[in-house]
Structure formats: C-alpha cells, structure tokens
Chain A
Amino acid sequence: MKNIVKTVLAAASTLVLAAGCIQESFPAGSTATANQVAAAPGSFDKFVDAITSTLVGQFVYAPTSTNAYDFGLPAFFIRWDSMGNDLVQPALTNGWFNSWYCIDHLGPTWANSQYAWTFYYSWIKACNNVISLAGEDPEADKVVGAGIARFYRAYFYMDLAQMFATKPCYVDASVETVPLVVETTTVEQLADNPRATNAEIFAQIITDLDLAEAYLAGYNRSDVYTPDVSCVYGLKARAYLLMGEWKKAQEYAKKAQAGYTIMDEDAYTNWETGFNTPNDSWMLGVTYKSDDPNIQKNDGDSSWGSWMCMEINPKTSGCGYAASYGRPIYIDRHLYETVPATDFRKKCFVDFAIDEMDADDAIDALGAYSNHGDWLYNNAQGTDFQTVGGMNLKFRTAGGEAGRDNQYIGFVVAVPMMRVEEMYLIEAEAAGRQNEAEGIALLTAFAKTRDADYVYGKHTDAYYNTASGTFINEVWWQRRIEFWGEGLATKDVKRLQKGVIRSYAGTNHVTKYRYNVDHTPDWMNLCIVQTETNYNFSCTNNPEPVAPSGDSDLYVW
C-alpha cells in the first residue's frame, strides 16, 4: 500500500511538472517579427510610412547611442557640403563633422564612410519592401504607396550616384556609382554585385520616376513631407540635368513649378519662420517632431536645429552645437562678399565688419540679425575664430521666444529638400545650355526676385573650371547663395566639375584646412565602406582621399 502511495506521489509530481513545456517566444516591444508585422492591421500602409518615418528624427546609425550627427537626411547636407568651400566649420572642439571639413578619416575602414551606406541602403530597403509588396501591377489601394516608394528609391540612388561617381553622368555615363539593389535582388546576388554605371543607375532612376509619375497622378497629399506628382517632376528635372538631357530637364522643371510661389524677402529672411516652416515655395521637406528621439534624447543636440540654429538662450537652455558649444557654421567669406548689398539673401549672414567693433557696438549691430545679439556675440567668443562675421542666421529656431528659451521646442524644425526656386534655376540652366540668351533671360528674371538691382555677368568665379563659361558660373553662383546649407553645394561642385578655393586673402577658413584644389577634389568621391567591399566581391572602390598637408598658397581672384 505504502509503495503505491509513494509511486503515485512520485509519478504525479513528475507528470504534472513535466507535461509539454517548451513554448514559442515572440518579441513584445520595439521589435516585431516578420509574422507579427504581416499580421498587423493595415500593414501595407505602415510599410509605406516606414519610408519617410526614419528620414529624420531617429537614430538610424546607432539607435542605442545618441551621436550628435545621427539625425538623418539633413545631416548629410552638412557632411557633404562641408567638403567644399561654402560652409566653414570652426574645426575646433565638438567636431562631429570635422572629418568632412578637414578631410581626414574618410577611408573605407572608418565609420565615416559607413553613414551613407547604412542610412541610404536601409531607406532603399524600406522602398524595396513596399515595391515588392505592391507587386508589378499594384492594386488600387497600393498605387500611391508604390508611387512614394518608387519616388524615394530614385531620390536615394540619385544622391548616392552623385556622391560616389567620379564624374557626372552627362560627362561620362560609364563611370561607376554604387551597387544597385532592387526589390528582386537576393542576398546571394549581393555578394557579386558590381557598382552600376552612371548609365545603368540613371536608367533605373528614370524607370522608377516614370512609374511614380503614373502612380501619383491625382494623389493629393496633406503636407510637403510626402511626395506628390510635382515632386516627381522636380526630381526628373534634377535627373535630366545630371544626364545632360537639357530639353527634358527644362520641360520637367517648368512642370514642377505649377502651384508654387518663389519666396519673397519677408519669407526668406523671417526671424521666426526662416527655413523652419514649409511655405508656398517648399515642394518637399522633412520635419522633426517634438517627440522624436533626435529631439528628446541628448538634450535635442543630435538634431539639425542644434547645428544650424544660432538663437538659444544660454541661461535657460545653454544647448545646441551652433548656439552654445562653439560650433556655428559660417558662410565662406568670399561667397559672402560677392553678394551685393541689395540682395536680401545677404541678411542671412552676419556682416564681417561687425568684428571690427568693440563688444557693445558689436552687440548693437547684431540687433540687425536677431533680438539676441548678446547671445550671438558671447557664443562666438567660444569658437576658434572668436568672430561673428559670416555666422549663419538663415535657419531659425521654431516656436518663437519659447523655442529660443527651450531647445526642445526650438529644434522642432522642418528642413527643405526641394524648393521651387531650384526649378526656376534648373529651367534657366537647361534652357541656357540649349540657347544661352533664353537662359540668361530666365536667370535674370529669377535673380531680380532676390536683388532688384541684379545685373547679369558679375558672378563669374570659375573655380578653376573656365570651360563652363560665364552663364553656367552665374547660375551656379545663384544656386550657391540661394541654397546655402540645403545640401546642394558639393553635388554642384561635382556636377559642374569645379575646384575648391579656401585659401585667399582675408579667408575665414580654418588654418591648416585652407585647401585650394584646381579640379574636383578626390575626396568628394566618397569611399565605399569596407562592410560592402569585404563581402561584395565585385565591388570596386574609390581611392582613399589624402588631404593636402596644410594651407595652400593664397588664391588671387
């Protein structure tokens, strides 16, 4: 009897606890498995949103760090444009973007060469996901999503093509750009995926844009943070300009202008809404949101506003790389000085003459740029220049005085990606390349909206490439000043095969980095990160750039 009790007791406890235990485990939090995503309600639309939701605001490169330059697409505007002469980086402390200004650590073994890859290819992956889900012939409820994905895939590849190709497409269609990964590319194919040529990648871009044009026809967007068909026209205008198809570039630039208005002086130089809020000239943009990780983490310092907005109250906030940590970005002094006093765009940058004044007068004079001249002046003392001349006040904090007192409000800004002004200048350039007189007329008409006293032919700096001629140099100059800080500068240097001039009498560039190069510098051909070339055995690379050993001899204009 006792044995039975014992056996039953032992067996019962064993069986109760042993019965079929192992369970499948699912994540519950900020990660979801493919099955969970597929099962989520409205998952296709969520995939579409994923294309634009990480363009800004998120720490895409290192989600667990809060690196100060990990703030999405606009960070590339600063990175890339720092490689030329128009943006001056005080290359002292807090030098998150120094590598691109100083030209160091840009080789394939450095993380600096990984940013473009990590960001752009993860964005491209998001586009490929949507294109793949939408299929060859998208159903009605997937047409717009497919159009957005096609548009952005073209946008991303065009950026990459311009930055990695050694020559622009219209000059040499056979040079290599980057490996092309589309929705049908398998992981196995990636191991043997050579860089597409300019011709190949632009063919893909046009194919995508043709489809986007069809898919987005009739789509009414609610804001400029999602592309509509006018953006497709705009991107096509850019593409054809790069491809040398001037007629089409002119045609699409003209089509893109419909429904938009060129900014006037008040909009362009507004102390409250200057380049932080979309207006009638913005065709496409991105915006930070108040609850983005870029804003809420690291004191909001890992954001566009932190690097581009000067007006932050040192007492109540004291944050911002530009406003507080000695890292304002300045305009090149020569570029500034070529802007006539009558051109309202000059008001976006502090007059170099103020540095000749004593402190009190300087602070008074800075009142012409800001209600807080003392902040600008004191902050400048912490830069390596200890000067205010050339300081950028184009990009303003958002939210009025409350935003200046609290960067969590002030840095919640929008950033333009495409403005109608560019379409007027593309139209002018493309027209001029076919018929210079027509181009000059269009250019002059545009320029007069900035400077009523504009006279054609005064802005002819060739930056070593004299072959491009006065007209192109005039258009280029307009683009340099009109889009300063908006990410077009280095792409234009490459497109127009210009050199770089940082060393000249009176330059405000940082000593040791006053490089003059009489052709498009090699460093503007970005290196492909080794995490690609190590495993993609058909992928070649651009040479690792070598910076000049110090200041170049002064250039005489």
Chain B
Amino acid sequence: MNEEIKKDSCRQDFYAFFESKKETLLEDLEERIKRLSQKNSKFPGSIIPPEKPYYTPEDIKNLDYEKDLGKPGKPPFTRGVYETMYRGKLWTMRMFSGFGTAKETNERFKFLLEHGQTGLSIAFDMPTLMGYDSDHPRARGEVGKEGVAVCTLSNMETLFKDIPLDKVSTSMTINPTAFILLAFYVAVAEKQGVPLYKLRGTIQNDILKEYIAQKEFIFPPEPSIKIIIDTVEFCSKYIPKWHPISISGYHIREAGATAVQELAFTLMDGFTYVKYAIERGLNVDDFAPQLSFFFNSHMNFFEEIAKFRAARRIWARWMKEKFGAKKEESMRLKFHTQTAGCSLTAQQPENNIIRTTIEALAAILGGTQSLHTNSMDEAYALPTEKAAKIALRTQQIIAYETDIPDVIDPLAGSYFIEYLTNKMEEEAEKIFKKIEEMGGMVEAIKKGWPQREISRSAYEFQKAVEEKRYIVVGVNEFVEDEETKIEILKIPPEIEEEQIREVKEFKQNRDNIVVKNRLEELRRAAERNENLMPYTIEAVKAHVTLGEIIEELKKVYGTWQEPPNLY
C-alpha cells in the first residue's frame, strides 16, 4: 500500500511541478533552440551571416548559370581558369625557400627538385629586399637571415649553378628590387646560353601591397610603379613566359585584413597596374596575360573558396568591361596560393600540419594554379628539412590519394557557396567604389586609408581571440603546459661573415671605371624617364651591385615615408 501511495504521490509531484513550470519550460525551449542554432564562434571579419543555419535555392534565385558561372576555362572563369584544370595538370607544388648563402640555397633547391618539387621559389634576405648590399652597415645582423643574400651577379650564378634555366620555373619573392633580380636572372640565362623567350617564372614586384601591408618600400609610389611598368613592358616584348607582377593579397591578409579586404585591395592593386600600363601606351592584351596573382588561404574554409571564385569573376568582368580586353587570356585570373602564416601557432606546433591541410584544401577547391604549404615550425623560425618535407607531402597526398582533383569546381551549385561567392563580389565592389571616390589606390595609400583599415581589422582579430569569441586551439583553449621541443633551424653567424667577405672581394675584382659609367647611364636614363631594364641589365653584367643601383636611383627618386595616423 505504501508503495502505491509513494508512486502515486511521486507522479502527483511530477505533474504539479510540470504544470507550474510549463510556461517557463516552453519559453526556455524556444530560447534554447534559437541559441543552439546560433553559431558560437565567428571567424573575425567574416561575411558569413552567423544567424543563418542553412541555405536554400531562395538564396541564389537570381543566379544565371551561363552569365555567373559558365564553363571552366571560359569567361567569367568562376569555375576555374582552365578547361581541364587538375585533370589535365595538377597545380604546381611550389615551396618557398632560401636562406643563408647562395651555395646552401642551391643545395636545398637540388634537394627539393629531387624530391618531386616542380618549381623553384626563392626567398631573399632583408638587405636584398630593401636594396642594401650585404656589406652595408644597415645590413648588420640581417644577412642571410630570412632568405638568401643576392647582391652581386656572382651570388646569382652560385644560386643557379647546375640548374638549367630553361628547365625550371622560378618564382622570386622580391619587390622594390625585383627589377634588379630579374636583370641578374637574365644575365645568368645569357651566360648559360638560354634564350630569353624560354625563361619561365615570376617576380612578385608588387609595390602597392608593400605600402599597404608589408612595408618593404624604397621609393615613393609614382617612380616605383614606373619601374614596375618598365618590367611589364620589357617582359611583354622579350620574356613572354614570364610573370612580371604577382599581384598579392597574401601579405595584406597576413597584416590583419579580412578576407574581403584581401580580395578588394588586391584586385584594386591589379586594376591600378593595368591602368598605368595602358597609360604607358601598352595594349592591354599584350601584357595582361602575363599578370598573375598571389592569395592567402586561411582557416575560414568556405569563405576562402568563395573568395577565389569571386576573384576570377570580378577580374574577368573588369578586364573586359573597364579595360577593353579582347583576348580571353587577358581575363584569366591565374593565382598562386600560400597557406596562412598568421594562422600558425607556436603552441603545439604539430597542430599546424592540420591547419595547413585545411587551408590547402580550400585553395585547391578554389582552383589555385600553384600552392605553397607552410611547415609546422614556421611560427618559430625558418623550416627544417623534415618540416618542409611534410608540408610538401601534404599536397602530394591530396593530389594523388583523394578524388578532389578529379572534378573541376566540385562545389559549384551549392546554395551556400554560390551565395557566398556573390556576397564576396558585392562587398568587394563596395570597397572598390570607396577607393575610386578617394581618387584611386595611390591616393588612398597616400591618405593611409587601406593601412588604417587593416590595422583596425588586425586589432579586432586580436581582441576576438583575447575575449574568446574566436577560439584558437592550443592558444586560448585546449592549452597545454608544453615541453615539446621542435628542432629549429638556426642560421650560424659565419654565414654573414662569409657573404660580406665575398661581396667585398667582388667589388675589388672588377673594373670600377666601367661600374661608375654604367651607374651614370642608369641614372641619366631614370632622369629621362626611359625604361630602366636594359640599363639595369648592362649594369649587372658589368658587376654593379644591387645596393649601388638603388643608391644611385635614390638620388633621382627620393625615398618614401609612411603617412601619419595609421592606428
């Protein structure tokens, strides 16, 4: 009897409880559903609306397949720049490298070529990037540290010893001094007996993003752009397989820009170069096919894929409608991608292998032409051989073991991806309009606008991490007390001494009168506003050094100072 009463009274209690709480419980339930369906952690600066849980045909109801997507390899190239994409040829696995002396870099090149890398990519040290010879006082402590020191023709020859220039494609990550490095390359090719039209490669040579993001600049904007157009003109005539500019968004993203800002600023830089080249008198279809791009691939997977697709569509449209391009080749946006350096963590570095994999996937699904995957130890130092190898293998596994390269633009038609691609394009157009209202990219840079925008995005990203609105595994969540020691690459100090000695010797063992003459001629050409490439090539052949060329040109062009209030 007691049991019955007990059970019954329990049931009574339960019903009583439920009745009293019914209202609140039902309310709570609705709130809970709403809260749980909301995205918790939003990637800072992302344009993905956080409250939208899924997408439907309604979201892309105005999509016109022929106009907005089209076939791969045909304008507007949204689905890819080539008809066969990876079915015909895989993306180029191009790993950035270079450090210490030219001799060691040459050995690392040969190592990577033997292990299946298909293109060479060179990183230069800070003095080379900024126009100082290794023996200059300002170069102290920085020679060979972030890349290879190349300030003399002999350095370049050592770099490419036993590497036939007609058999490789070389990408040089170099900016204000790019025209000099190109001159070195041409001189080495001539010595090897390779005709210029056979040379394949790229110089980054994108000064506009330097003013905005990476801050490797020497001269003010106008003369810097003039030198770039000199290289564009020279390459369109003599080195047709060379990409004279790699219009870059990578660094803009690394400096803290959002995905949209990366997209918009990069394309605007590209439009600016095209504008100046056309003003020089070049025919757009003669040089545009040689332009290439360089983007970042970060952890916001879908947004990145949409970014790449939108980039192709926007470029194709602008080239045709605003710049009057007639050849399809001029409308093709070809790009190299590097996985995001700024996403790498020093904490639990092995996790970076996974990050790099996800970012590589985004780039491949986005249709990149070549890809560099970061090594896991790059938040610490320059990568070791082991780490660099894993990064390369990451690409090879995706390429060979998965079905991802087998179908072109597999995500096309996804309600989400097409919606996002459209949104990327709209947001980018808003930024284009703003910059045009300011008088163009050069004006905007002088005003400091893009620089300020990026500073702000960078600060907001950091705040999001600090406030845990954005979780970074191992950094602000899932933190460990770490003892994992990763072996890192150290540059021994003898490297700098050796290079300085070599440069000093080089300067002694040459005809210094000829050197003086070539510098004179170069300077006068600059004063007369002539194309500097032929003069630079003659100068480097006469053993003029990189630092000497820059010093001479500073006399004509002056130097650039950043505008104030960039924060």
Our verdict on whether A and B bind, yes or no, reads: no
* Residue positions of B touching A, CB distance < 8 A: none
